[in-house]
């Protein structure tokens, strides 16, 4: 999934190696199913089947594709969040991510016309899910799924479950700041200065739960003095400009939700992000541009930051 992984466990020495290996196995499984960095993942194959079969796949009687229970679960969660966020989060954003060059890793600015045309291929409402058969059907040609906004969180949830099951007294799964889960031992988390990411604006402590940060500084490219972030607003097809970073916290076992909600809040912007986070029961803070200044909003239960 294009990130480094760190797993820590505390407990009897006899079980530690096995616990970590099993937890790591969960990360590999999710990578094999849902990564777009590999052409042979279940998700890549689902996307390419759709491309190969073209328009006939969109007919009402076309065969849907049956996917694994895990992939179905994550796709269904992504669609639910797309509904909840009124399309700020959209797992069909793939064609736009490609257009802006983020899969290649060297971004470039497309023409406004290309943005409009590609934008027309995006829309979670064109996905039909049948839970009884775990079937996925795209009702529009050229639709592509990208679960990059929540699959890491899902992987963290699965790996954490393994550490718990194995009897580890404390555990940590860290997929970069984009998704972290922990229990049993307090850990300090830094909120970076979004304009100067090697500096922090403050830290908070968490003993159990999960944390996810989505930020413009994590990935993007510069063009003519302007920074283009890897998170795209599906409603206009452009990389999100006003948001700088979003950090969301939730209880243990909610890493997928928290991962999705940091991405969603980043796209939604301050007013909508607060409403969404409060409605869905997580804590979050969003840093954003206000003219030449940086401002932030946060939910009422967000932990106090110390310096």
Instruction: Give the nearest residue (CB) to ligand AMP.
Output: 148
Q: How far is the CB of 305 from Mg ion (least distance, A)?
A: 21
Which residue's CB is nearer to ligand AMP, number 20 or number 81? 81
Which residue's CB is nearer to Mg ion, number 139 or number 272? 272
Q: SS3 string of the chain?
A: CCCCCEEEEECCHHHHHHHHHHHHHHHHHHHHHHCCCCCCCHHHHHHHHHHHHHHHHHCCCCCCEECCHHHHHHHHHHHHHHHHCCCCCCCCCHHHHHHCCCCCCCCCCCCHHHHHHHHCCCCHHHEEEECCCCEEEECCCCCCCCCCCCHHHHHHHHHHHHHHHHCCCEEEEECCCCCEEEECCCEEEEEEECCEEEEEEEEEEECCEEEEEEEHHHCEEEECCEEEECCEECCCCEECCCEEEEEEEECCCCHHHHHHHHHHHHHHCHHHHHHHHHHCCCEEEEEEEECCEEEEEECCCCCCCEC
Query: Is residue 97 close enough to count as binding ligand AMP by CB under 6 A?
Result: yes
Tell which positions 148-177 bind ligand AMP, by CB under 6 A: 148-149
- Applying CB under 6 A, which of residues 194, 209, 234, 269 lies at the interface with ligand AMP? 234
149 to 188: interface string for Mg ion, x by CB under 5 A: x---------------------------------------
Tell which positions 194-223 bind ligand AMP, by CB under 6 A: 214
Query: Is residue 249 close enough to count as binding ligand AMP by CB under 6 A?
Result: no
- Applying CB under 6 A, which of residues 93, 155, 166, 172 lies at the interface with ligand AMP? 93
Residue 232 binding: pick among Mg ion, ligand AMP, none (C-beta 5-8 Å cut-off by kind): ligand AMP
Question: CB burial class (10 A; 0-12, 13-18, 19+) of residue 227?
Answer: middle
Stretch of 20-28, 54-62, 108-116, 146-154 contacting ligand AMP, by CB under 6 A: 146-154
- Applying CB under 6 A, which of residues 43, 46, 75, 267 lies at the interface with ligand AMP? 267
Tell which positions 212-271 bind Mg ion, by CB under 5 A: 259, 262-263
Residues that bind ligand AMP (CB under 6 A): 89-91, 93, 97, 146, 148-149, 178, 214, 230-232, 234, 259, 262-263, 267
Residues that bind Mg ion (CB under 5 A): 149, 259, 262-263
């Amino acid at each position: 999934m294009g990130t480094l992984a760190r797993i820590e466990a505390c407990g009897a020495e006899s079980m530690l190696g096995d616990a970590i290996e099993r937890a790591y196995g969960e990360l590999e499984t999710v990578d094999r199913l849902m990564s777009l960095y590999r052409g042979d993942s279940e998700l890549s194959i689902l996307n390419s089947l759709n491309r190969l079969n073209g328009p006939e796949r969109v007919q009402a009687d076309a065969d849907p594709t049956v996917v694994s229970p895990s992939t179905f679960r994550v796709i269904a969660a992504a669609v639910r969040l797309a509904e909840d966020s009124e399309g700020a989060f959209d797992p069909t954003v793939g064609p736009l991510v490609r257009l802006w060059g983020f899969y290649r890793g060297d971004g470039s600015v497309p023409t406004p016309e290309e943005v409009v045309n590609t934008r027309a291929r995006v829309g979670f409402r064109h996905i039909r899910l049948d839970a009884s058969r775990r079937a996925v059907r795209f009702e529009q040609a050229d639709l592509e799924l990208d679960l990059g906004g929540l699959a890491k969180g899902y992987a963290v949830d699965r790996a954490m479950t393994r550490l718990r099951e194995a009897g580890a007294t404390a555990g940590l799964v860290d997929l970069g700041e984009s998704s972290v889960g922990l229990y049993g031992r307090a850990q300090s988390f830094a909120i970076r200065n979004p304009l100067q990411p090697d500096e922090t604006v403050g830290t908070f402590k968490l003993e159990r739960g999960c944390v996810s940060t989505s930020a413009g500084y994590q990935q993007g490219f510069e063009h003519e003095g302007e920074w283009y972030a890897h998170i795209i607003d599906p409603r206009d097809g452009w990389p999100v400009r006003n948001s700088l970073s979003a950090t969301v916290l939730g209880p243990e076992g909610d890493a997928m939700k928290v991962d999705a909600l940091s991405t969603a809040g980043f796209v939604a912007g301050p007013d909508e992000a607060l409403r969404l986070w409060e409605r869905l029961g997580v804590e979050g803070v969003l840093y954003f541009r206000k003219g030449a200044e940086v401002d932030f909003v946060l939910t009422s239960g967000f932990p106090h930051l110390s310096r």
